[in-house]
Amino acid sequence: MIRMKNKIGFMLISWLAVSFLVGCEEEYDPMEFGIVDMNHKITSVDKEVTEPGDIVTFTGTDLDKVYKIMLNEETVPVVFEATATELKMTVPSMAPLGDVVTISLFFSGNGLAQRTIRIISPPVIFMLSPSAAQPGETVRVLGRELYLAEQVKIGGVDVTATFTLIDDKQFTVVVPEGFTGGDVEIITATGKVSTSPSPLILGTEILINDFDGNENYFNGISSNGNMDGDKLESEPFPRLNYWTFTITDNGTGWGGNVDFYISGLPSGYDNDKITLYLDLKLSSAMNVNVMVQGNANVYGLTRGYQAGWQTVEMHFSDMGTGYGGGEPYGEVEPFEALTAVKVQPPAQAGDGNFGETVSVDNIRFIIAN
């Protein structure tokens, strides 16, 4: 884990810079050439590391004489309130970030006091890979500013000892013994907690394809009927590669669908514990039938989805038989017999969707314990 040392020291801004930046204040006379050192007026600061939105409290004397606060030499407005013995400053959303940020407090009568502080951008978890795991298995956490993690927990259990930083966007940890499912949490030096967008599931993930070079049991893609314009696209980390298909007037009366072929799935799993997941992006809101195909039939369910990216989560027990997902429900063929995952948007002429697009990423099955 990376811990950046907070450099504590006093640094005075040059008189010319101060005059330029604050000379317009009524209480400030830019023609004077002396700065009064007021550092002795500050006896303590309650934080050495902070984040935008936090309140930093200074204690001391004559703090009600402070009329302006500046971060480094930037003109970002800083909101504060003060009494003679206490000043509370709110770290602005546009605060400069870094190992050392100089906070300058300007007192009436050309007084200046300074302290240094570390202002960090809070880490954010985007996703977990895999999204289901067993105790003792390694999980990769993807996000931003992840090097700021001081502590990591899975399901409330501290796993910091297993933390391995890959870069500022990725680290790995090991699932603890006794894990039953729960969030992955990052605790920073400020004490703030960043939580995974969805809990880590106790179970087994069977990844079919994430289109970033990781695939299993995958046998290719086929767009059919009025689904056309197959295109491999990319977005910034962590999305990376995905496939997009355009609903096109190819004169097919029944519409169209996209097949993601699979073969050789492992046997011995209970269908009641299996859920299909895939990431779906639509150019506009529409009802989409997501299915699995076996040797005898197809099984799925039509649901309404919004424009943009979302994760389809479909339990086998909810899947109906045939295109459109009719009765009986929950009669999906054995897992090892499945031959495809199918995505079918409304693609007939009467649906008015020609030109709309459907994108698919991260096709996977999760078998819960």
Residues 304, 283: contact at Cβ < 8 Å? no
User: With 60 as the cut, is the pLDDT of residue 282 above it?
Assistant: yes
What average pLDDT does the chain have?
90
Q: Which amino acid is at 38?
A: M
pLDDT reported for residue 23: 42
Residue 136's alpha-carbon distances to 145, 293, 326, 364, in angstroms, are 26, 33, 41, 21
Residues 25, 112: contact at Cβ < 8 Å? no
Which of 22-36, 57-71, 113-127, 230-244 is least confident? 22-36
* Owner of token pair 């090097």: 147
Structural domains of the chain ordered from first start: 15-119 (2.60.40.10), 124-199 (2.60.40.10), 206-368 (2.60.120.430)
Q: Which amino acid is at 271?
A: N
Half-sphere exposure of 131 (CA within 13 A, CB side): 23
Tell me if the bond preceding 92 is cis, omega within 30° of 0: no
**pLDDT interval class at 33 (50, 70, 90):** low
User: With 60 as the cut, is the pLDDT of residue 293 above it?
Assistant: yes
Which of 55, 42, 59, 51 minimizes the C-alpha distance to 8? 42
What is the C-alpha to C-alpha distance for residues 90 and 57, in angstroms, rounded to an integer?
9
Burial of 128 by CB count in 10 Å (0-12 exposed, 13-18 middle, 19+ buried)?
buried
- Kindly state the tokens that stand for 365: 């099955």
What is the C-alpha to C-alpha distance for residues 210 and 239, in angstroms, rounded to an integer?
9
**pLDDT interval class at 189 (50, 70, 90):** confident
Residue 171's alpha-carbon distances to 119, 138, 166, 182, 350, in angstroms, are 22, 10, 5, 18, 49
Which of 254, 221, 253, 246 minimizes the C-alpha distance to 323? 254
pLDDT reported for residue 27: 47
Q: Answer with the residue of higher pLDDT: 217 or 9.
A: 217
Radius of gyration over every alpha carbon of the chain, rounded to an integer in angstroms:
29
Residues 84, 106: contact at Cβ < 8 Å? no
pTM score, whole prediction: 0.77
Average pLDDT (135-151) is 95
pLDDT reported for residue 22: 43
86-117 pLDDT, tens digit each: 999 999 988 898 889 999 999 999 999 999 99
Q: Which amino acid is at 88?
A: K
What's the start-to-end Cα distance of the chain, in Å?
A: 32
Residue 19 main-chain phi, psi, to 5 deg: -60, -40
What is the C-alpha to C-alpha distance for residues 21 and 76, in angstroms, rounded to an integer?
11
Q: H or E element: which one contains 20?
A: helix 15-22
Which of 286, 298, 263 minimizes the C-alpha distance to 359? 286
Give the strand order in the sheet containing 170-174: 124-129, 138-144, 170-174, 164-167
User: With 90 as the cut, is the pLDDT of residue 15 above it?
Assistant: no
309-330 pLDDT, tens digit each: 999 999 999 999 999 888 999 9
User: With 50 as the cut, is the pLDDT of residue 74 above it?
Assistant: yes
pLDDT reported for residue 21: 43
Residues 6, 113: contact at Cβ < 8 Å? no
pLDDT reported for residue 359: 98
